[in-house]
Amino acid sequence: MPTLEEINTANLSALRTEHDSMGNVQVPLNAYWGAQTERSRNNFKIGPKASMPEEIIEAFGYLKKAAAFANKDLNVLPRDKRDLIAKVCDEIIDGRLYGEFPLVIWQTGSGTQSNMNANEVISNRIHVLQGNEMGKGTPYVHPNDDVNKSQSSNDTFPTAMHIAAYKILVDVTIPGLEKLRDTLRVKSDDFMDVVKIGRTHLMDATPLTLGQEISGYVSQLDHGLSALQHTLDHLSELALGGTAVGTGMNTPAGYDVLVAKYIAEFTGFPFRTADNKFEALSAHDAIVESHGALKQIAVSLMHIANNIRMLASGPRCSIGEIHLPENEPGSSIMPGKVNPTQNEAVTMVAAQVMGNDVAITIAGSNGQFQLNVFKPVMAANFLQSARLIGDACCSFNENCAMGIEPNYDGIKKHLETSLMLVTALNPHIGYDNAAKIAKAALKNNQSLRESAISLGLVTNEQFNEWVRPEDMIGSIK
């Protein structure tokens, strides 16, 4: 009997004949997939590197195992077949059979071929585990009658979508966001007394502290995390048990609740059967809603990363109020140049997520009657966004945020020369007189102090008493 490695690395030029309801088809000799997978592999040569995400394949492992357990409990599948199916599903979950899932995202909109890919791989892998050769004899566990029992592609693929989406958010996205949020919170606390000039409309404004400024970023990420976590409840609803159109045809009584219970047990997440299977098959509002939260986070990350790189711009000929870690050379021609590369990576990720949201929005609004037929593209875009955000936050946290430090000289220079400190004089000499001081200072290239005294509107002692940046930052922390 060949090993898994031998099977996965075999020369696929040798073929065997497989048969399905449409007739015969030639399949690579040592591949575990069968006729329906091979038809899809040949019929959808669209972006051959756009493989079905591994998270979806793993999710199929969970749901096929859960279905086998539920079917056994409901006396429609023998114990030995349940155990055989579960054994191969564990191999799928462990990632040992990824090479047996060759299909691309751009296939039928229901994901039918990927569902059959899973059925065929499980059936044929069992056939080999029982000591048989591929293509010889009839598999003991049938791909449709046993592996796919009580299921339809129309309810398995949306279930896989929800399992994969929920799992990646909890395992990757949320932890990455929390790491970055927590680091920025520490930085905000550390720099709460570092007074600097504020900016509105890209123009000088009244002072605040660097800690106050960063606290705004912390709040953005807090709100994004809250929105994302709120969507998990909707994602925890599973379509499995609805079969073809949501009616649950060909399922034993109680199957939908039981299979969701097993999925929850196997994954460790609180999955439950969907309240309305017709919605679960014909619409994917949970994916749209959850990705909307990812888009919100992308908007926040774009804002945060851009602000941080502008505050660090320079180092001598721009704002230059903070220092960022120097990770790599920034130019092949300009010696000593260092660029805010982590910020640029985050902003590119944000742009990609925003684009993915357009695709998901269009896909979620389409599909007619009892089935949305944009499932694979929704799943692929969602999973890409979720992983990109989680990974980008970890990278930005480790290679940028943790190393942010104030540039005290740059902060002092801008603070002392800002014309908007004149705002502190408003209560004492009025808005119009304060404006005269600021305009004259700019026109005559004077400091505010020089302008105020030369105009006879404020004495030196009064200026010292009234214009104190540290007293202009308010009480909000």
Residue 188 φ then ψ, to 5°: -60, -45
Residue list for the binding site: 110-112, 142-145, 152-154, 200, 332, 337-339
Is 331 assigned a catalytic role?
Answer: yes
Residue list for the binding site for substrate: 110-112, 142-145, 152-154, 200, 332, 337-339
| Catalytic option among 201, 219, 300, 454 | 201
Among residues 331, 447, 451, 475, the one annotated as catalytic is 331
454 is catalytic: no
Annotated active-site positions, please?
201, 331
